């Protein structure tokens, strides 16, 4: 179904490759004006050209969202570019092959995959409310199923760092964040939903070393295309069926139950308070 997005403004982070780029192109085909956020200027320009080919207006914001200072600057640029904001797609993320700390003192996987989502969304919330009805789409993953719970006692992964497990913990954080956000947005006309895009054959994880990189390379022939992986993003961003739905988790454009740790509202509130502290 060709849902019409003419007159709507959509911001997509992690939009220079894979499902982020594919989602941006498809949303452009449906008439949306796009703002693409990515860390590489050349890739941003290439992605913008691909979206612009659909006949819509495109702007780019170059920022490394693993840094909260850069996330704040990116949000300020988005606010300057967008008098209205109808859809925010939080998609930027990565599997880090090795434990690494950012210059701001955060473990890099947590910083990029969760803290940037939290801070970027908070800084844009008032614009989303002013543009209501509006939507926040959070790209999580079924990788959250590997996490027994969020590691509140090991935020910097000093006790243990296993790349896929750490990634799963941050994807669990995405779902918990979405639940807490939906609660805060209730009655505002802004919805928030998380999703699993499927296991997609993109550049994601291809440069990783060890077991992660080996898995990605061996599995590639059996994985979804970027366009297939983007389908649930587009569904939550544009489908009339998603109107008014909030605080849910989706896969294959249908609601899906996450694992019990992702439904722990006490953990969601604890994570919200912690995230405010870490991004202050």
Q: Which residues are catalytic?
A: 167
Output the CA angle 44-65-14, nearest 5 degrees. Answer: 40
Q: What's the CA gap between 276 and 5, in Å, rounded?
A: 33
Q: What's the CA gap between 257 and 186, in Å, rounded?
A: 21
* DSSP state letter for 225: P
Residues 14/93, Cβ–Cβ less than 8 Å: yes
Quick check: bond before 133 cis, omega within 30?
yes
State the CB neighbour count (10 A cutoff) for residue 57. 12
């Amino acid at each position: 179904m060709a849902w019409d997005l003419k007159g709507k403004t959509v911001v997509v982070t992690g939009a220079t490759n894979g499902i982020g780029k594919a989602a941006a192109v498809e949303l452009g085909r449906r008439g949306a004006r796009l703002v693409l956020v990515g860390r590489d200027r050349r890739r941003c320009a290439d992605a913008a050209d691909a979206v612009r080919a659909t006949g819509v207006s495109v702007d780019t914001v170059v920022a490394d969202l693993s840094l909260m200072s850069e996330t704040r600057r990116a949000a300020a640029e988005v606010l300057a570019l967008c008098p209205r904001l109808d859809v925010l797609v939080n998609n930027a993320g990565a599997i880090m092959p090795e434990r690494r700390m950012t210059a701001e003192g955060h473990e890099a996987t947590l910083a990029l995959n969760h803290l940037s989502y939290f801070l970027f969304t908070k800084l844009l919330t008032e614009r989303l409310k002013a543009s209501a009805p509006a939507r926040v789409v959070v790209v999580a993953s079924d990788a959250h199923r590997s996490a027994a719970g969020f590691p509140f006692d090991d935020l910097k992964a000093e006790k243990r760092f296993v790349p896929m497990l750490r990634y799963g913990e941050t994807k669990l954080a995405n779902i918990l964040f979405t639940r807490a956000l939906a609660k805060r947005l209730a009655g505002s006309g802004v919805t928030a939903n998380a999703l699993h895009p499927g296991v997609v054959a993109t550049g994601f994880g291809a440069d990783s070393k060890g077991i992660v990189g080996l898995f990605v390379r061996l599995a590639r022939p059996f994985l979804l295309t970027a366009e297939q992986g983007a389908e649930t993003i587009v569904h939550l961003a544009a489908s009339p069926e998603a109107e008014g739905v909030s605080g849910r988790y989706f896969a294959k454009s249908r609601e899906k139950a996450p694992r019990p740790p992702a439904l722990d509202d006490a953990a969601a509130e604890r994570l919200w308070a912690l995230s405010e502290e870490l991004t202050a």
